[in-house]
């Protein structure tokens, strides 16, 4: 049971010989987790002298000559919040100063002089006060109350939300009745990092996640985003643990590559088609000549670049002088380079020597979609298993997902509990479902047949064989028909990458999608190990054979059957935390139209 749900009477009594609290090894302070995550809520540490640091989450100023009997709730009635006792008007006024500052600001008051105006209203002979600060250092969800006398620091300096303090003092039983069992009575302030309230975005309470994206460098200070980052860290740790426990070797694959795993020509030609359509639409419409001229110029530049890239793809047949000219023009690489969309091709070369391998890192996709599950810079886990076929990869993917679901449930309980209260109450049930349910395995053809027979629901996208399943189709299969996670395998070859193994029917390939509620989380396949089939597929798609010569070499020299899968790590964080937008699941999102920080 967490401290927030324990009354003081339920707390164990402190022992007569307190156990010393451990210092953080590299900062000479005590982590708040060390104090607050104890079974007794920290009561066993009373009278110990410690140094703690953190950022102010909320604060309250109290007059020393008339302390209230109980801790008043935020926004509560003045008389009720003090246990029915009368409170001096000036004390009530002082406790409402932050609220009054907001009122003055809303109605056009000069924020630069707000504090000066409020201070002038208070009597000059007011008795000394104490500041009750709730601070968090990121080590746990709970906050520690720190009591600071006004003789140590002016309340106006240390009370603003976001202020950083490093305080030395003695742990004592909480002076105010409430949900906090202990507090730190500060005797020294070793550091104060002040905050400019007017310009600090988190001074405003209750900012939505969408607004927090505009200040990505500050948003980890909110408990919600901090909890998401800790769950993300837990999923990261769990993922490495799974693969290391099963004999996989971690390999770093290149971020900059000369090989486009999805076939650059197709993607670039699509860009040209879109620009051409835009020009035609402008010609048919009443748009101004400037807009049309700009679109035509953009299309012209795109065609020129396409021609240049096509020429670069044939560098091997160029003379040395031509290569040198291009090198001088680019200033770095002698041939075409990409930010990789996947490291799977390079991972295959490692699997050919090391057996079972995996990679974990950023991948890049120039997708202009407004989907809440896509980013320009996304993090992926990619695996490759030597001497394995499609069924082996599907089983490994299922085992992986069950393991990480169990691990994060057990090791990130505090943060998941907080998120279930603030974001999505179904988080525990969904994670338990993944960990305990046997996944349903169906072919793509079966999935189409099931969806074609649905009569009580109309899908926006028409379902027919050969068309990719949409998010709407997948949600129906998982949430309404099978009511469990599913694995859809044997997809039409046109829907999957060029290097997926062709099935005997000549129409489908050995690929699978692992679909859970809200998302397709894992995509995997058995790779084509037959040289003739792979060469034929490259030719069918019009890809440059020169670009894939090194990849074809793997089929010429000691080839092996192998399979693997890719985990959309950001989407996995989205699922585990109950969030709806992947931009809230990463520390610094990069997506079409904007880079935060």
Q: Is residue 320 very low, low, confident or very high in pLDDT (cuts 50, 70, 90)?
A: very low
Domain presence at residue 218: no
Q: Are residues 272 and 257 in the same domain?
A: no
Using DSSP's 3-state secondary structure scheme, residue 7 falls into: coil
- List strand residue ranges (DSSP E) for 415-518, in order: 440-443, 486-492, 508-516
Between 544 and 233, where is the model more confident? 233
Model confidence pLDDT, tens digit, residues 331-359? 566 677 778 888 899 999 999 999 999 99
CATH code of the domain containing 90: 2.40.50.140
Q: Are residues 146 and 243 in the same domain?
A: no
Q: Over the chain, what is the mean pLDDT?
A: 80
Q: Chain-centre distance of CA 203, in angstroms?
A: 23
Q: Are residues 184 and 117 in the same domain?
A: yes
Q: Are residues 363 and 429 in the same domain?
A: yes
Domain presence at residue 491: yes
User: Got the DSSP string for 367-423?
Assistant: -----TT--SEEEEEEEEEET--HHHHHHHHHHHHHHHHHHHHHHSHHHHHHHHHHT
Q: Are residues 381 and 433 in the same domain?
A: yes
Residue 300 has pLDDT above 60, yes or no: no
Domain presence at residue 335: no
Q: Find the Cα–Cα–Cα–Cα dihedral 439, 443, 449, 455, rounded to 10°.
A: 20
Domain presence at residue 213: no
Q: Are residues 289 and 409 in the same domain?
A: no
Cβ neighbours for 439, distance < 8 A, ≥ 6 positions apart: 398, 484, 485, 486, 487, 514
Domain presence at residue 216: no
Model confidence pLDDT, tens digit, residues 523-542? 999 999 999 999 999 999 88
Question: Can you tell me the distance from the alpha carbon of 130 to that of 175, in angstroms, rounded to the nearest whole number?
Answer: 12
Q: Find the Cα–Cα–Cα–Cα dihedral 234, 236, 241, 243, rounded to 10°.
A: 150
Domain presence at residue 84: yes
Residue 256 has pLDDT above 60, yes or no: yes
Q: Find the Cα–Cα–Cα–Cα dihedral 215, 220, 222, 224, rounded to 10°.
A: 110
Q: Are residues 230 and 325 in the same domain?
A: no
Domain presence at residue 401: yes
| pLDDT for 365 | 80
CATH code of the domain containing 586: 3.30.930.10
- Domain termination site, one of 310, 330, 350: 330
Whole-number percent of the chain with pLDDT over 70: 72
Between 348 and 80, where is the model more confident? 348
Q: Are residues 404 and 440 in the same domain?
A: yes
| pLDDT for 597 | 63
Between 117 and 467, where is the model more confident? 467
Segments forming the whole domain that contains residue 144: 3-207
Q: Are residues 370 and 295 in the same domain?
A: no
| pLDDT for 101 | 55
Q: Is residue 364 very low, low, confident or very high in pLDDT (cuts 50, 70, 90)?
A: confident
- Looking at the structure of the chain, the number of domains it has is 3
Mean pLDDT for 181-200 is 93
Domain presence at residue 406: yes
Lowest mean pLDDT among 234-243, 377-386, 576-585: 576-585
User: Nearest-CA neighbor of 415 among 302, 424, 308?
Assistant: 424
| pLDDT for 104 | 52
Q: Please tell me the pTM assigned to this model.
A: 0.76
């Amino acid at each position: 049971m967490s401290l927030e749900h324990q009354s003081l009477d339920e707390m164990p009594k402190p022992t007569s010989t307190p156990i010393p609290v451990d210092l953080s090894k590299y900062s000479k302070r005590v982590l708040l987790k060390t104090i607050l995550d104890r079974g007794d809520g920290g009561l066993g540490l009373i009278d110990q002298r410690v140094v703690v640091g953190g950022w102010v989450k909320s604060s309250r100023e109290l007059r020393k000559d008339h302390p209230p009997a109980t801790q008043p709730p935020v926004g509560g009635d003045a008389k009720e919040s003090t246990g029915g006792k009368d409170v001096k008007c000036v004390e009530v006024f002082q406790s409402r100063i932050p609220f009054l500052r907001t009122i003055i600001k809303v109605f056009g008051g000069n924020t630069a002089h707000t504090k000066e105006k409020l201070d002038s209203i208070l009597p000059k002979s007011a008795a000394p006060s104490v500041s009750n600060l709730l601070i968090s250092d990121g080590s746990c969800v709970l906050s520690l109350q720190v009591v600071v006398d006004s003789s140590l620091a002016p309340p106006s300096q240390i009370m603003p939300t976001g202020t950083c303090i490093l305080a030395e003092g003695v742990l004592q039983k909480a002076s105010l009745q409430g949900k906090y069992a202990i507090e730190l009575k500060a005797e020294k302030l070793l550091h104060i990092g002040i905050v400019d309230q007017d310009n600090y975005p988190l001074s405003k309470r209750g900012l939505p996640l969408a607004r927090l994206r505009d200040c990505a460098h500050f948003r980890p200070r909110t408990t919600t985003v901090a909890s998401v980052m800790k769950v993300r860290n837990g999923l990261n740790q769990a993922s490495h643990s799974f693969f290391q426990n099963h004999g996989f070797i971690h390999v770093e694959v290149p971020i900059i590559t000369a090989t486009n795993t999805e076939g650059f020509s197709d993607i670039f030609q699509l860009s040209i088609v879109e620009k051409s359509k835009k020009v035609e639409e402008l010609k048919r419409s009443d748009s101004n000549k400037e807009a049309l001229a700009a679109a035509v110029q953009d299309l012209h530049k795109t065609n020129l670049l396409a021609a240049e890239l096509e020429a670069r793809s044939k560098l091997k047949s160029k003379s040395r002088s031509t290569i040198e000219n291009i090198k001088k023009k680019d200033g770095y690489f002698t041939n075409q380079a990409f930010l990789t969309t996947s490291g799977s091709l390079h991972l295959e070369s490692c699997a050919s020597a090391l057996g079972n391998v995996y990679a974990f890192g950023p991948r890049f996709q120039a997708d202009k979609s407004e989907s809440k599950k896509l980013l320009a810079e996304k993090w992926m886990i990619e695996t490759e298993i030597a001497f394995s076929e499609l069924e082996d990869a599907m089983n490994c993917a299922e085992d992986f997902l069950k393991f990480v679901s169990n691990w994060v449930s057990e090791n990130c309980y505090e943060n998941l509990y907080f998120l279930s209260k603030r974001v999505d109450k179904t988080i525990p049930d969904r994670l338990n479902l993944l960990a305990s349910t046997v996944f349903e395995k169906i072919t793509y053809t079966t999935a189409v047949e099931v969806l074609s027979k649905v009569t009580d629901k109309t899908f926006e996208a028409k379902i027919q064989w050969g068309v990719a399943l949409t998010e709407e189709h997948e949600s129906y299969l998982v949430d309404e028909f099978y009511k469990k996670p599913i694995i859809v395998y044997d997809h039409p070859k046109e829907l999957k990458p060029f290097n997926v193994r062709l099935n005997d029917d000549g129409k489908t390939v050995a690929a699978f999608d692992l679909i859970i509620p809200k998302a397709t989380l894992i995509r995997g396949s058995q790779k084509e190990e037959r040289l003739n089939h792979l060469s034929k597929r490259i030719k069918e798609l019009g890809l440059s054979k020169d670009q894939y010569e090194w990849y074809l070499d793997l089929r010429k020299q000691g080839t092996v059957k192998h399979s693997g899968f890719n985990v959309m790590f950001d989407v996995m964080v989205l699922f585990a935390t109950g969030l709806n937008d992947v931009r809230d699941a990463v520390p610094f999102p990069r997506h079409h139209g904007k880079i935060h920080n």
